[in-house]
Amino acid sequence: MAYYETMFDQLDVTAAQLLVNDSSFRDKDFRKQLNETVKSMLDLRVIPIFNENDAISTRRAPYQDSSGIFWDNDSLAALLALELKADLLILLSDVEGLYTGPPSDPNSKLIHTFVKEKHQDEITFGDKSRLGRGGMTAKVKAAVNAAYAGIPVIITSGYSAENIDKVLRGLRVGTLFHQDARLWAPITDSNARDMAVAARESSRKLQALSSEDRKKILLDIADALEANVTTIKAENELDVASAQEAGLEESMVARLVMTPGKISSLAASVRKLADMEDPIGRVLKKTEVADGLVLEKTSSPLGVLLIVFESRPDALVQIASLAIRSGNGLLLKGGKEARRSNAILHKVITDAIPETVGGKLIGLVTSREEIPDLLKLDDVIDLVIPRGSNKLVTQIKNTTKIPVLGHADGICHVYVDKACDTDMAKRIVSDAKLDYPAACNAMETLLVHKDLEQNAVLNELIFALQSNGVTLYGGPRASKILNIPEARSFNHEYCAKACTVEVVEDVYGAIDHIHRHGSAHTDCIVTEDHEVAELFLRQVDSAAVFHNASTRFSDGFRFGLGAEVGVSTGRIHARGPVGVEGLLTTRWIMRGKGQVVDGDNGIVYTHQDIPIQA
Amino acid sequence: MAYYETMFDQLDVTAAQLLVNDSSFRDKDFRKQLNETVKSMLDLRVIPIFNENDAISTRRAPYQDSSGIFWDNDSLAALLALELKADLLILLSDVEGLYTGPPSDPNSKLIHTFVKEKHQDEITFGDKSRLGRGGMTAKVKAAVNAAYAGIPVIITSGYSAENIDKVLRGLRVGTLFHQDARLWAPITDSNARDMAVAARESSRKLQALSSEDRKKILLDIADALEANVTTIKAENELDVASAQEAGLEESMVARLVMTPGKISSLAASVRKLADMEDPIGRVLKKTEVADGLVLEKTSSPLGVLLIVFESRPDALVQIASLAIRSGNGLLLKGGKEARRSNAILHKVITDAIPETVGGKLIGLVTSREEIPDLLKLDDVIDLVIPRGSNKLVTQIKNTTKIPVLGHADGICHVYVDKACDTDMAKRIVSDAKLDYPAACNAMETLLVHKDLEQNAVLNELIFALQSNGVTLYGGPRASKILNIPEARSFNHEYCAKACTVEVVEDVYGAIDHIHRHGSAHTDCIVTEDHEVAELFLRQVDSAAVFHNASTRFSDGFRFGLGAEVGVSTGRIHARGPVGVEGLLTTRWIMRGKGQVVDGDNGIVYTHQDIPIQA
């Protein structure tokens, strides 16, 4: 109690001890008095701290005798919560909450919402928790009693000072006990897992289909999209209306709108994907390992993808059809602005998937809250593709062990060499910045060969940008020459009608600048000098390197990949615009006649490449 | 002070306050008395808590007047540490230690060891820390003063109760200040970074070489290995002697030994790799995007690899030559048993690398302590390949954001179908378990079709294993039939002369079992039924799936990949045995004539595949 007092003192809060006995609760007058006392104390802003009055307790073995009305601090807390009609009971433990097994076991999962009917039997309790005598068994018993008598209970860790605050702000910490919990459809960790496991099972069924049957699913989806154009439009209009009401920016609202024309062109792109050569099971390499022992490297689906995308609902259709084409299961989380549009598109698509595969092939994640749970499932989700802000991508990368495919930054450069065609340079520089200034493949830095200062080409380039409303910031050299403000950093992505300009010595200076400050997305050289161009193409270590073409071409559709799930600036797995191929992995298939290794004695390795039949 | 007292009280420790004044320190007698008082208190196990006696302080603006002997709690602490000849001064802050910039800036790095000459100028101090008045500037000033007067200082966070304990146990937390720090060659974070950056720079130079020059490096390395056979052997013998002295297992010592024969065969394998077609810059795909706009997908090096491997020193040569062949920079960490062998092999190899590339292409990491620092460098290291125990792989996966390629488990299955050739089945099952029982591609579970129980084939298989000393554990069905102990789990890797046996209904039962309990490494079917075999090959979703061949073939050398850096059970990037190809990524190269996107209006996309010239 002295400790509590001192601690509360630090916060200028008065605390007072109330010692109670099991037997007192049998007395109705005591219980009435207790309520009044606590009310008075709270009115006086005094915090009551309850404990059993051990000194005068008459029970034989306090804390072990469970015959009374309460028998430990947890049951006392539950009893008091009921007596005092508390709004909420928080039980603090030394672990984050109730787990499905011993918290030290990596297979144990935190239960966010306890449902008696579901969890009672599945939990295995470990040793008592170290602090206090209650242990988790006692806490759960007390929590269940209180919850089913109408007082919600949360068990959480007392180690983090912020947890109580988080509980009061309604954040999802610890384990919640509520009498109606079984009626809710809460997104629990096991729900997320169920979705992922179902997607994997369905994806295996999808893979077992013939190529023709997989193609037919895509054609059916395209038909279903066109057949449901009215329903889709109706739901989409509700999203659009909400967005306008909420005062969303015009450009954002425009991205949200699904016209019948857009739906038709989506259906067309799904049909185009259906027409593409089947990407699954393709033999990529074939080797005779030894006489009669043949090894094939074949393409195969990755498994289950989790894709988080922003407001455009057409992305859902593109991603879903890419996933089906590549034989993958899919979990999708769209932006909340497109909630209704995504829901109807998801329904139309999954309804068109035959029962032999199952609609659970594609799961629609509806709440942001589920994302952290999904990101933990590195054993059932194979790849995460975030399509959104830099912040979203970084946040996801920092919180998951699942591989992440995407780009955080798109700092693209155009280097204009001294041997450039001036008109071409102006055209490419303008297009690279202005065609869509906020795109990740838009130019953020213009590098210019120093000789172009003398012959006025630099000025022409600058004028081409400035006259179209582009704000320019200069590196140390350019800001002096052009008398423009100095850029704060070369590593900056404007995502707007603005860019950095710098003067470099030559192509080597440009390459060095790009390696130092770029994000390895897309970089371009404009030159008529073939040798310089090839040097740039060979040495710039970016996902896409262009000669005499706008950086804006760096895109799955423009590359001819059919559609894209995103652009990867990572170096592992897929790089640059990612279409179907990036959603595939490989399997090694070996066919023998009973060969064994036997210390490599029994076999003569030939390792002959076998041509692959087209 | 009341707070300190209460807190220490909880631990049954007595604390006492000592209030001192700046002016007192000018008095020699006071300083002598102070020493005696503190000594007496410590003898009595009383903890002195110092503070400035503000009430009687005469300075104008305490904490801001830096004219005195001390002027804040940090300088008071440094002063007292000196006066009392402390062994160590710990300054607790609200951040982990001293960073190169504001701790909130993700580019700031924690400095583990402060070297005045190196760090003084590079640090930019942010705002004062929130707690206390000292801030980091004051702490560093105090720490430098104390350290250069001979008292080592550590600045660390006071938020974690364990930090003081960690400091006392000599663990690496916070920032250490020591007067001799400049003389040490500490492995600091920036050292690790320097190594990685140097490796990347060298790798870019390596890539800029012609294919012939890269080939020559490998041939030079092969020659150097043979030319230095005596030196290598001498160093290796010292490792072997130490290992024997330390009582290392015979089999481990055997793996350590490098005979002249082994060195020759290593040189031969390096030459074989040199002879292989250049894997860099290969055109994998070529597309005409539009008239005069051609896109190529080309192979390119990943960048910088970090490979952690265990005791066999030959792995160093294999990995280094694979890295050079694939144009990558490399950081290598070998086992400490092979320390001297690794050092000499590293020297021989890097000495053979021409100056135009630089020996820093391959960095040898010598202490285990450096690994955590290296694993933080996700901006300069592209891929981590741990070759070692399950525990090592899991540990690395859990602590790094860098992609990790490897396998944690190797739970390989052999399924013997009812239509098997009995002799072949016995041969494959025996080889898969016995050729090298601890290998990751060894059979851990034998699945047998239920019909083979009747016709005694099951018994023959069991006998083949048991008679060779394999201990068998059964699944629920097999343990009853065969009267063998029940396996604790199907998800178990024995790594020894032991395996699990289970009876399954049919091929579907086997596939289901493998998906449920396998680790997607290598799985095999033994059958004469072609249709069943193809079903198994198509549906089993593992890195390698074999028909009528031992699982032991699942290996880079046996697959004909030349050498392997490891086996990947991940589904991203590379799968199964990983040779040169797994160390490559791609770049998209586009050559145009000034084409721009202009809202896709100005261009007609053709997207025609162009055949690739062989």
Mind listing the pLDDT tens digit for each residue in A129-160?
A: 433 344 788 888 889 889 988 899 999 998 88
Q: Which amino acid, A78?
A: A
| Nearest to A262, CA basis, from A314, A300, A227 | A314
> What value, to the nearest 5°, has the Cα angle with vertex B260 and ends B254 and B264?
110
Is residue B559 in some structural domain? yes
- Rounded Cα gap, residues B90 and B154, in angstroms: 5
Average confidence score pLDDT of chain B: 88
Q: Do residues B7 and B161 lie in contact, with contact meaning Cβ atoms separated by under 8 Å?
A: no
- Chain A residues close to B398, C-beta within 8 Å: 401
H-assigned helices in B209-311: 211-227, 229-245, 250-256, 260-275
In the predicted structure, residue A128 carries a pLDDT above the cut 50: no
- Chain B residues close to A572, C-beta within 8 Å: 302, 382-383, 403, 572-573, 585
User: Positive or negative, the Cα torsion across B56, B58, B60, B62?
Assistant: negative
Hey, is A277 helix, strand or coil?
coil
Please tell me which of the candidates A208, A592, A607 has its beta carbon nearest to residue B546. A592
Q: Closest-CA residue in chain A for B586? A: A575
In the predicted structure, residue B121 carries a pLDDT above the cut 80: no
Beta strand segments in A139-248, E? 153-157, 175-177
Beta bridge partners of A329: A304
Asked if residue B308 and residue B439 are part of one domain, the reply reads no
Mean pLDDT of B529-538: 96
Confidence class for position A185, pLDDT limits 50, 70, 90: low
Domain of residue A487, CATH code: 3.40.309.10
- Chain B residues close to A596, C-beta within 8 Å: 427-428, 430-432, 435, 549-550, 552
- Rounded Cα gap, residues B130 and B73, in angstroms: 15
**Residue located via tokens 């265990």:** B310
Domain of residue A348, CATH code: 3.40.605.10
CA distance B139 to chain A (A): 26
Q: Closest-CA residue in chain A for B552? A: A597
Confidence class for position B55, pLDDT limits 50, 70, 90: low
Please tell me which of the candidates B207, B545, B596 has its beta carbon nearest to residue A587. B545
- Chain B residues close to A543, C-beta within 8 Å: 587-588
Q: Are B515 and A383 within 8 A, CB to CB?
A: no
Listed in sequence order, the residues at least 6 apart from B127 whose beta carbon sits closer than 8 Å to its beta carbon are B102, B135
Question: In the prediction, which pLDDT does A60 show?
Answer: 55
In the predicted structure, residue A481 carries a pLDDT above the cut 90: yes
For B233, list phi and psi in degrees, rounded to 5.
Answer: -60, -45
In the predicted structure, residue B562 carries a pLDDT above the cut 60: yes
Confidence class for position A389, pLDDT limits 50, 70, 90: confident
Of A526-535, B185-194, B218-227, the least confident: B185-194
Burial of A278 (C-beta count, 10 Å sphere; 0-12/13-18/19+): middle
pLDDT digits 0-9 by tens, A52-103: 877 666 555 544 455 567 778 888 899 999 989 999 999 999 888 998 888 7
| Nearest to A47, CA basis, from A70, A79, A89, A15 | A15
A51: which 2 tokens? Answer: 């404990």
Question: In the prediction, which pLDDT does B187 show?
Answer: 47
In the predicted structure, residue A187 carries a pLDDT above the cut 70: no
Question: In the prediction, which pLDDT does A370 show?
Answer: 79
Asked if residue B153 and residue B207 are part of one domain, the reply reads no
Question: In the prediction, which pLDDT does A201 show?
Answer: 92
In the predicted structure, residue A223 carries a pLDDT above the cut 90: yes
In the predicted structure, residue B590 carries a pLDDT above the cut 90: yes
Q: Structural domain tally of chain A?
A: 3
- Rounded Cα gap, residues A393 and B491, in angstroms: 34
Helical (H) or strand (E) element with A498 = strand A498-504
In the predicted structure, residue A352 carries a pLDDT above the cut 70: yes
CA distance B64 to chain A (A): 26
> What would the 3-class secondary structure string for A521-536 be?
CEEEEECCCHHHHHHH
Question: In the prediction, which pLDDT does A102 show?
Answer: 80
- Rounded Cα gap, residues A54 and A51, in angstroms: 8
Please tell me which of the candidates B383, B577, B595 has its beta carbon nearest to residue A572. B383
Q: Are A594 and B204 within 8 A, CB to CB?
A: no
**Residue located via tokens 């024995």:** B494
End position of a domain, from candidates A184, A204, A236: A184
Question: In the prediction, which pLDDT does B311 show?
Answer: 67
Beta bridge partners of A133: none
DSSP code of residue A170 = T
Is residue A611 in some structural domain? no
For B156, list phi and psi in degrees, rounded to 5.
Answer: -145, 180
Is residue A572 in some structural domain? no
Strand A471-474 vs strand A443-449: parallel, antiparallel, or unpaired?
Answer: unpaired
Beta bridge partners of A92: A156
Is residue B233 in some structural domain? yes
Of A312-316, B354-358, B588-592, the least confident: A312-316
Q: Do residues A140 and A98 lie in contact, with contact meaning Cβ atoms separated by under 8 Å?
A: yes
B601: which 2 tokens? Answer: 């209006």
Question: In the prediction, which pLDDT does A89 show?
Answer: 96
Q: Do residues A88 and A166 lie in contact, with contact meaning Cβ atoms separated by under 8 Å?
A: no
Please tell me which of the candidates B526, B560, B596 has its beta carbon nearest to residue A428. B596
End position of a domain, from candidates A184, A218, A238: A184
What burial letters (b/e) apply to A280-319, b meaning 16+ CB within 10 Å?
A: bbeeebbbbbbeebbbbbbbbbbbbbbbbbbbbbbbbbbb
Asked if residue A392 and residue A260 are part of one domain, the reply reads yes
Distances (CA, A) of A438 to A258, A523, A545: 22, 16, 20
Q: What is the dihedral of CA A366, A368, A369, A370, to 10 degrees?
A: 50
Q: Are B553 and A597 within 8 A, CB to CB?
A: yes
Question: In the prediction, which pLDDT does B62 show?
Answer: 43
Is residue B606 in some structural domain? no
**Residue located via tokens 């190269």:** B589
Confidence class for position B110, pLDDT limits 50, 70, 90: confident
Asked if residue A370 and residue A422 are part of one domain, the reply reads no
- Chain A residues close to B539, C-beta within 8 Å: 204, 207-208
DSSP code of residue B404 = B
Listed in sequence order, the residues at least 6 apart from A137 whose beta carbon sits closer than 8 Å to its beta carbon are A125, A128
pTM (predicted TM-score): 0.72
Q: Do residues B479 and B529 lie in contact, with contact meaning Cβ atoms separated by under 8 Å?
A: no
| Nearest to A502, CA basis, from A455, A549, A443 | A443
Q: Closest-CA residue in chain A for B606? A: A560
In the predicted structure, residue B300 carries a pLDDT above the cut 90: yes
Q: Which amino acid, A119?
A: H
Beta bridge partners of B309: B387
- Rounded Cα gap, residues A431 and A444, in angstroms: 12
Distances (CA, A) of B192 to A247, A480, B187, B583: 50, 37, 7, 21
Q: Closest-CA residue in chain A for B441? A: A597
Is residue B497 in some structural domain? yes
Question: In the prediction, which pLDDT does A200 show?
Answer: 93
Beta bridge partners of A293: A290
Question: In the prediction, which pLDDT does A171 show?
Answer: 77
- Chain B residues close to A577, C-beta within 8 Å: 588
- Rounded Cα gap, residues B429 and B467, in angstroms: 13
CA distance A305 to chain B (A): 11
Q: What is the ipTM of this complex?
A: 0.72
> What would the 3-class secondary structure string for A22-43 be?
HHHHHCHHHHHHHHHHHHHHHH
Beta bridge partners of B501: B446, B474
DSSP code of residue A160 = S
- Chain B residues close to A575, C-beta within 8 Å: 585-588
Count of other CB atoms within 10 angstroms of residue A188: 22
Average confidence score pLDDT of chain A: 88
pLDDT digits 0-9 by tens, B256-275: 999 999 999 999 999 989 99
Domain of residue B61, CATH code: 3.40.1160.10
Which position has the higher pLDDT, A520 or A110? A520
Asked if residue A173 and residue A59 are part of one domain, the reply reads yes
DSSP code of residue A612 = P
Asked if residue A301 and residue A368 are part of one domain, the reply reads yes
In the predicted structure, residue A349 carries a pLDDT above the cut 90: yes
Beta strand segments in B226-373, E? 283-290, 293-301, 304-309, 329-333, 362-365
- Chain A residues close to B592, C-beta within 8 Å: 546-549, 553
Beta bridge partners of B298: B283, B587
- Chain A residues close to B577, C-beta within 8 Å: 588
Asked if residue A224 and residue A125 are part of one domain, the reply reads no
**Most B-contacting residue of A391, A515, A553, A575 (CB-CB within 10 A), to test interface:** A553
For residue B608, the number of C-alpha atoms closer than 13 Å in the C-beta half-sphere is 10
Asked if residue B496 and residue B378 are part of one domain, the reply reads no
- Chain A residues close to B526, C-beta within 8 Å: 594
Confidence class for position B252, pLDDT limits 50, 70, 90: confident
Question: In the prediction, which pLDDT does B132 show?
Answer: 37
Q: Closest-CA residue in chain B for A554? A: B588
Asked if residue A218 and residue A102 are part of one domain, the reply reads no
End position of a domain, from candidates B184, B205, B224: B184
Confidence class for position B130, pLDDT limits 50, 70, 90: very low
Beta bridge partners of B157: B93
Is residue A485 in some structural domain? yes
Count of other CB atoms within 10 angstroms of residue B485: 11
CA distance B345 to chain A (A): 27
Question: In the prediction, which pLDDT does B592 show?
Answer: 95
Please tell me which of the candidates B6, B533, B573 has its beta carbon nearest to residue A572. B573
Asked if residue B200 and residue B55 are part of one domain, the reply reads no
Listed in sequence order, the residues at least 6 apart from B470 whose beta carbon sits closer than 8 Å to its beta carbon are B433, B434, B497, B498, B499
pLDDT digits 0-9 by tens, B462-489: 999 999 999 999 999 999 999 999 998 9
In the predicted structure, residue A265 carries a pLDDT above the cut 70: yes
Radius of gyration of chain B (CA): 32
Which position has the higher pLDDT, A167 or B418? B418
Confidence class for position A6, pLDDT limits 50, 70, 90: confident
Q: Do residues B555 and B454 lie in contact, with contact meaning Cβ atoms separated by under 8 Å?
A: no
Asked if residue A457 and residue A394 are part of one domain, the reply reads no
For B158, list phi and psi in degrees, rounded to 5.
Answer: -90, 0
Burial of A583 (C-beta count, 10 Å sphere; 0-12/13-18/19+): buried
Q: Are B600 and A558 within 8 A, CB to CB?
A: yes
Count of other CB atoms within 10 angstroms of residue B611: 6
DSSP code of residue A358 = -
**Residue located via tokens 């525990």:** B391
A&B contacts, CB < 8 Å: 225
| Nearest to B303, CA basis, from B326, B321, B286 | B326
Residues in chain A: 614
Asked if residue A169 and residue A197 are part of one domain, the reply reads no
Is residue A1 in some structural domain? yes
Q: Do residues A117 and A182 lie in contact, with contact meaning Cβ atoms separated by under 8 Å?
A: yes
Which residues span the domain enclosing A489? 412-564
**Residue located via tokens 């343990």:** B479
Mean pLDDT of B176-183: 82
In the predicted structure, residue B63 carries a pLDDT above the cut 80: no
> What value, to the nearest 5°, has the Cα angle with vertex B125 and ends B120 and B129?
130
Residues in chain B: 614
Burial of B95 (C-beta count, 10 Å sphere; 0-12/13-18/19+): buried
Beta strand segments in B56-157, E? 89-93, 113-114, 153-157
Mean pLDDT of B561-585: 88
For A179, list phi and psi in degrees, rounded to 5.
Answer: -65, -25
CA distance A285 to chain B (A): 11
CA distance B584 to chain A (A): 8
- Rounded Cα gap, residues B430 and A510, in angstroms: 61
B370: which 2 tokens? Answer: 């450096």
Question: In the prediction, which pLDDT does A311 show?
Answer: 67
Q: Are B295 and A587 within 8 A, CB to CB?
A: no
Q: Do residues B446 and B414 lie in contact, with contact meaning Cβ atoms separated by under 8 Å?
A: yes
Please tell me which of the candidates B204, B403, B588 has its beta carbon nearest to residue A559. B588
**Most A-contacting residue of B159, B433, B571, B581 (CB-CB within 10 A), to test interface:** B571
